[in-house]
Amino acid sequence: MEAWRTSIVDSRDGSIRIRGYDVTTLMTARTFTDTVFLLHQKRLPTPAERALLDAILTAVADHGAGAPSCAAARLAASGNRQSLSAAVAAGILAVGDEHGGAGMGCMEMIVAGVARARREGVSIAEAAARTVTDARGRGERLPGLGHRVHSIDPRTRVLFDLARANSLAGDGIAFLEAVAQVVAQQIKPLPINVDGALAAVLHDMGFPPPFGRLVFIIGRVAGLTAEVAEELTRERPMRIHIPVTYDGEAPRPVE
Amino acid sequence: MEAWRTSIVDSRDGSIRIRGYDVTTLMTARTFTDTVFLLHQKRLPTPAERALLDAILTAVADHGAGAPSCAAARLAASGNRQSLSAAVAAGILAVGDEHGGAGMGCMEMIVAGVARARREGVSIAEAAARTVTDARGRGERLPGLGHRVHSIDPRTRVLFDLARANSLAGDGIAFLEAVAQVVAQQIKPLPINVDGALAAVLHDMGFPPPFGRLVFIIGRVAGLTAEVAEELTRERPMRIHIPVTYDGEAPRPVE
Amino acid sequence: MEAWRTSIVDSRDGSIRIRGYDVTTLMTARTFTDTVFLLHQKRLPTPAERALLDAILTAVADHGAGAPSCAAARLAASGNRQSLSAAVAAGILAVGDEHGGAGMGCMEMIVAGVARARREGVSIAEAAARTVTDARGRGERLPGLGHRVHSIDPRTRVLFDLARANSLAGDGIAFLEAVAQVVAQQIKPLPINVDGALAAVLHDMGFPPPFGRLVFIIGRVAGLTAEVAEELTRERPMRIHIPVTYDGEAPRPVE
Amino acid sequence: MEAWRTSIVDSRDGSIRIRGYDVTTLMTARTFTDTVFLLHQKRLPTPAERALLDAILTAVADHGAGAPSCAAARLAASGNRQSLSAAVAAGILAVGDEHGGAGMGCMEMIVAGVARARREGVSIAEAAARTVTDARGRGERLPGLGHRVHSIDPRTRVLFDLARANSLAGDGIAFLEAVAQVVAQQIKPLPINVDGALAAVLHDMGFPPPFGRLVFIIGRVAGLTAEVAEELTRERPMRIHIPVTYDGEAPRPVE
């Protein structure tokens, strides 16, 4: 078999290098968040970039035991206490476009919107307006707006303020705020949620759209591990009973 | 259905609290590593504790594309490019006693060994010697020693030095070093690997054994996300061909 | 890389052979259940063996949307509608010693019990009595007895009758029925559940203990696929709200 | 919490009904393949339908240890020998549009093509030609054609012959064969692969497109369980070494 190629880690007897940096130096001179940034950006972050990434990872770490990812991890732990990996993985599998995954779609919308402003020679605000019009025409939801629990997501303001205070705010934040404003005028106020906020900030920090989902997974795994540990420590096996109503075919004989 | 109970996160409209702390404050005043510590220890870490946990998470983040976890994630990404979650989860599923999971077993050995010293009224060193003798008698391997790539794991010294410099070294490190010494005298030199090192340090920081596996998952997910991103960016779908030799039944007719 | 070796499938241009049999012949001359048997036993089943394996696979296919495996699959589908594989996998991850997995433990108990009868020169019934005594002494539960929903599991009688009618009943059924009788006399009536029943039957058909878990996974995946399909067809995304009560630390400031 | 609703299984003390049928009757009067059909079609199959579904499930059960799904399952088993569920789930996670999942896309293409013939008032053959032209214009691949191992997939002919012999062949097979013919004339001969074949047959049997992927998962899990069992029985832990070449950043100091 041909060897696989990689530009991430070079590991040989007595030496492990991540993107060229010796792991033992990273372990003492840098933080884990720096390592996350390095793995995905191929360079170490500035203090401002580190602060933003720390804020994002903490923002998505956990949202309560009833979130689909947390609940799926607990259900797996409830039936399968032999494998911590299995329970955490089950939690991650609940992450998609609908749960924790809007960041990626929102980053794709931002990339397209900013390119459109350039291509059509209009302002970011006008590109946002056109994006909203198009989405409404296709009957599509705009990713990154609204939340099923929060009428105003408290994490959004913190991320945007932090980006501005660190001079990291750019077209991404501008575009998404313009989208939210147009939506508020034309439809109804739908505050930017944490997925939208992290999408705008990560775009302005130069990350590609898929990182909008991967960063959620990295942060959420911290919460999932705690949920699984609590389930195994505090609860007995198979304690979960989901109530079910059957509304299918009446009893019938096998012909 | 009875409500589930949790002591991890309280989330309600406009407010998310992790172990009592407002998430928006944690986002700006603390690091992601602090959040990991908080989720599992129910309190925020000291700077020394944070430094140790940062070092551990970076130590296990990635060990090259050919590690079972990384390779499993890449195989999943190769056949299923629609779900980043699925690929990352496949990588986590390769983590167990044999890969990345020795930390948990090693922490259990340390807990038992330290309790034994107390119970049998002997020194940590003597308890270590008895632990080795027992394991040899049962023909069992001692977790946390030896590595298939590294003759000396460079991450071990860094973790132990950091623990000592921060006055966090305790019975865990003492016990495991004594075990390694006895093994070197009685069998052959088998250096402490990163799983053993993080087990000893986490024990001395007050973490329970399962965290020895969960911390590996948290750290490794950073690497897995990068491996998956690289696979999707640099490689074409279904590019992986594992060479296989068939050595089973010869062709035969269905009777 | 050295080629992997396998005795399962030989596939080359224009030809696929499973355990030596041409797949195109198997497709028309045999059933899928025959293929399952062949994959695990290296030979095709007799009609009696096929009938038993069909009955077992149908017995475990589904037990309602609230079973941990089914509920985990639905939660994953609810948050991640992009990957059918991810949702089905999440369901499988909830299968372990506690849910759907008692078959493996029960087969291990049967293997040990039958060996004990031989080794200690006693009857199967006496070996069963000694097994119960030992388990009670160690405070351990006996796998394969009792069910959280069924006071009498209706599937057990069907499997045992079918095994007897087909002359496939052996030491496994005898041993487990003896265990249940001793438990009923000494503790309380705990009927043999489907995991116990399939364990006894599979033991008598010559399968090794791990197949007691694998057969559950093979059967249950039929149900999981239907649960996922129903979730995606009948329900809207993120419709699941698990009620949660927080009982942790009161609000506190970050020092 | 509101009870979940389901039309699949009604299970209560002493009784389990699948789509209205008592499971104990299904266990003895019907095959597992019938149960699969019932779970997804809400009715029991005719003998002809059962024969087709049996053939499809066997066709996709396994394609060799090097297939992404089989290799991912083995890698997980190699690092994590504690959980059979985890290894099987890792294998399923490698199933997507690129591996084993073309059936779903092909069924969607067939549904669209047959609707187009009706809508545009043209023959199935003409609709196929227009579909190919459109796909070429968009630079898209046609799902269900070509195979990386087989120049002619031996399973396709068997499935189509079986469908015709059982009077189950309809617009699906006609459309896909027309597509293959147009492709052969305009581009190059690309034989219909097993994903395409099962897509056409399942369409003609009335299954919806997602079943084109789910049926692959159901069949493949039979093979995955055998691959995992072989890995654990024949191989030692962590035996897999994937060769890797590093081509990233040269060693550099942390600034």
In this prediction, residue A241 has a pLDDT band, given cuts at 50, 70 and 90, of confident
Report CB contact under 8 Å: C79, A100.
yes
Residues 6 or more apart in contact with residue C64 via CB below 8 angstroms: A244, A246, C70, D6, D8, D9, D10, D11, D16
Residue D11: beta bridge partners? D16
- Where are the strands (E) in chain A, listed by range? 4-6, 9-12, 15-18, 21-22, 244-246
Helices (H) and strands (E) in chain B, counts: 11, 5
Q: Which residues in chain B are closer than 8 Å to D82, comparing Cβ atoms?
A: 96-97
Residue A233 CB burial class (10 angstroms; 0-12, 13-18, ≥19): exposed
What 8-state DSSP symbol labels residue B9? Answer: E
- pLDDT band at C255, cuts 50/70/90? confident
The residues facing C17 across adjacent strands are: C10, C22
> For C163-218, how does the pLDDT look when each residue is reduced to its tens digit (9 = 90+)?
999 999 999 999 999 999 999 999 899 999 999 999 999 999 999 999 999 999 99
The C-alpha atoms of residue C233 and residue C14 are separated, in whole angstroms, by 38
Q: Does A232 touch chain B (CB under 8 A)?
A: yes
C75·A80 Cβ contact <8 A:
no
Q: How many Å apart are CA A88 and CA B210, to the nearest integer?
A: 13
- For the cut 90, the answer to whether the pLDDT of residue A194 exceeds it is yes
3-state secondary structure chain C: CCCEEECCEEEECCEEEECCEEHHHHHHHCCHHHHHHHHHHCCCCCHHHHHHHHHHHHHCCCCCCCCHHHHHHHHHHHHCCCCHHHHHHHHHHCCECCCECHHHHHHHHHHHHHHHHHHHCCCHHHHHHHHHHHHHHCCCCCCCECCCCCCCCHHHHHHHHHHHHCCCCCHHHHHHHHHHHHHHHHCCCCCECHHHHHHHHHHHCCCCCCHHHHHHHHHHHHHHHHHHHHHHHHCCCCCCCCCEEECCCCCCCCC
ipTM over 0.90: yes
Q: How far apart are CA C222 and CA C231, in angstroms?
A: 15
Task: Tell whether B250 lies on the interface with D, counting CB pairs under 8 A.
Answer: no
* pLDDT at position C39 over 90: yes
Q: What is the end-to-end Cα distance of chain A in Å, rounded?
A: 54
Q: A77 pLDDT exceeds 80?
A: yes
With CA atoms as reference, the chain C residue closest to D58 would be C32
Q: Is D124 on the interface with B (CB under 8 A)?
A: no
Is residue B148 pLDDT above 80, yes or no?
A: no
* pTM recorded for the entire structure: 0.97
Q: Which of C249, C252, C255 to mutate to test the interface with B (most CBs of B within 10 A)?
A: C249
d(CA D42, CA D35): 10
Residues D43-60 have a mean pLDDT of 98
Say what the pLDDT of residue A149 is.
78
Q: With beta carbons less than 8 A apart as the criterion, state whether B85 and D71 touch.
A: no
Contacts of D1 in chain A (CB under 8 A): 242-243
Pairs across B and D, CB distance < 8 A: 130
Beta strands D15-18 and D9-12 are antiparallel
Q: Do D20 and A249 touch (CB under 8 A)?
A: yes
Rounded CA gap, C235 and C225, in Å?
Answer: 15
| Residue of chain D minimizing CA distance to A86 | D86
* C158 touching A (Cβ < 8 Å): no
pLDDT at B218: 98
CB C36 within 8 A of CB C30: no
Which residue has 């549009």 as its token pair? Answer: D97
**What average pLDDT is seen over chain D?**
96
Q: Tokens in use for D220? A: 């493949």
Q: How far apart are CA D211 and CA D103, in angstroms?
A: 8
Bridge partners for B6 per DSSP: C246
CA C34, C35, C36, C39 dihedral sign is positive
- Extract the tokens encoding A217: 């997974």
In this structure, what is the dihedral angle of CA atoms A99, A102, A105, A108, given to the nearest 10 degrees?
A: -150
Contact D210, C84 (CB under 8 A): yes
Inter-residue contact A56 to A159 (CB < 8 Å):
yes
Best of D1, D98, D247 to substitute, by most chain B Cβ atoms within 10 angstroms, is: D98
**A93 vs C86, C238, C244: nearest CB:** C86
Q: How far apart are CA A241 and CA B200, in angstroms?
A: 39
Give the mean pLDDT of A18-34: 98
Interface test with D, best of C30, C104, C214 (most D CBs within 10 A): C214
Of A47-61, B156-170, C116-130, C144-158, least confident by mean pLDDT is C144-158
Chains that touch C (3 or more CB pairs under 8 A): A, B, D
- Residues A16 and A154: their CA atoms lie apart, in Å, by 40
pLDDT at D68: 95
Q: Quick check: B101 and D83 CB within 8 A?
A: no
CA distance A214 to A95: 10
The pLDDT value recorded for residue A220 is 98
List, for residues B53-81, the tens digit of each pLDDT value: 999 999 999 999 999 999 999 999 999 99
Question: Greatest CA span in chain A, whole angstroms?
Answer: 73
Q: Which chain D residues are Cβ-neighbours of B240 within 8 angstroms?
A: 68, 71
Query: Which residues, listed in sequence order, are joined to residue C100 by a DSSP beta bridge?
Result: C96
Q: Which residue of B has its CA nearest to D246?
A: B64
Maximum distance among all Cα pairs of chain B, rounded to whole angstroms: 73
Residue C93: is its pLDDT beyond 90?
A: yes
Beta-bridge partners for C96: C100
**Residue in chain C nearest B250 by alpha carbon:** C20
Contact B19 C83 (CB under 8 A): no
| Contact yes or no for D234 and C5 at CB 8 A | yes
Beta bridge pairs of residue D9: D18
The secondary structure element, H or E, covering residue D10 is strand D9-12
For residue range D242-253, list pLDDT tens digits in order.
999 999 999 999
Backbone phi and psi for residue D145, each to the nearest 5 degrees, phi listed first: -115, 140
| Pair of tokens at residue A212 | 């909008």
The predicted pLDDT at position A32 comes to 98
Residue A129 has pLDDT above 80, yes or no: yes
CB < 8 Å to A157, chain B: 24
Residue D194, chain C, CB below 8 Å: the answer is no
Please check whether residue A100 touches C, CB under 8 A.
yes
Among C85, C147, C194, C233, the residue to mutate for chain D (most D Cβ within 10 A): C85
Q: Which amino acid is at B231?
A: E
> Cβ-count burial of C157 within 10 angstroms (0-12 exposed, 13-18 middle, 19+ buried)?
middle
Please name the residue that has the structure tokens 């909008």.
A212
When pLDDT is cut at 50, 70 and 90, the band that residue B1 belongs to is: confident
The reported pLDDT for the residue numbered A14 is 87
Shortest distance between the Cα of D1 and any Cα of chain B, in A, equals 6
Per-residue pLDDT tens for B7-47? 999 999 889 999 999 999 999 999 999 999 999 999 999 99
**C10: nearest CB among B86, B242, B248:** B248
CB D101 within 8 A of CB B80: yes
pLDDT tens digits for range D213-244: 999 999 999 999 999 999 999 999 999 989 99
| Burial bucket for residue B120 (CB in 10 Å: 0-12, 13-18, 19+) | exposed
pLDDT score of C44: 98
Selected for mutation to probe chain A from D17, D19, D249 (highest A CB count within 10 Å) is: D249
The kind and range of the H/E element at B4 are strand B4-6
Confidence (pLDDT) at A2: 85
Say whether residue A227 is in contact with chain B using an 8 A CB cutoff.
Answer: yes
Question: Does residue C1 carry a pLDDT above 80?
Answer: no
Q: Residue D246 in 3-state DSSP?
A: strand
What is the secondary structure of A208-220 as a DSSP string?
-THHHHHHHHHHH
C240 touching A (Cβ < 8 Å): yes
pLDDT given at position C241:
87
CB-CB under 8 Å, C150 with D241: no
pLDDT at D28: 97
DSSP character string of B10-56: EEETTEEEETTEEHHHHHHHS-HHHHHHHHHHSSPPPHHHHHHHHHH
DSSP B145: B
Query: What order of strands is seen across the sheet that includes strand C15-18?
Result: C9-12, C15-18, C21-22
**Nearest by CB: A14 against B92, B104, B154:** B154
Q: Would you place residue B246 in the very low, low, confident or very high pLDDT band (cuts 50, 70, 90)?
A: very high
- Cβ count within 10 A of residue C60: 24
Q: Which residues of B touch C86 (CB under 8 A)?
A: 83, 85-86, 89
pLDDT at B101: 83
For range B152-157, the mean pLDDT: 93
**Residues forming beta bridges with residue D246, ordered by sequence position:** A6
Which pair of structure tokens corresponds to residue D219? 């069949």
Query: Mean pLDDT across chain A, nearest whole number?
Result: 96
- Percent of chain C whose pLDDT exceeds 90: 91
Residue D145's SS3 state is strand
Quickly list DSSP for B151-211. Answer: SS-HHHHHHHHHHHHTT---HHHHHHHHHHHHHHHHT----B-HHHHHHHHHHHTT--TTH
Asked if D214 lies within 8 A of C228 by C-beta distance, the reply is: yes
Mean per-residue pLDDT over chain C, rounded: 96
In this predicted structure, what is the pLDDT of residue B195?
96
Residues in chain C, overall count: 255
* A134 DSSP 8-state letter: H
Which D positions 20-39 lie with beta carbon below 8 A of chain C?
23-24, 26-28, 30-36, 39
pLDDT at D191 over 80: yes
- Residue at token pair 């160690």: C138
Q: Is A79's CB within 8 Å of C95's CB?
A: yes
CA–CA dist A213, D65 (Å, integer) = 31
Measured in angstroms, the CA of B189 and the nearest CA of chain D are apart by 21
Put simply, the answer to whether C79 touches A98 (Cβ < 8 Å) is yes
Neighbouring chains of A at 3+ CB pairs under 8 Å are B, C, D
Query: For residues A127 and A179, what is the distance between their CA atoms, to the nearest angstrom?
Result: 9
How far is CA A38 from its chain centroid? 18
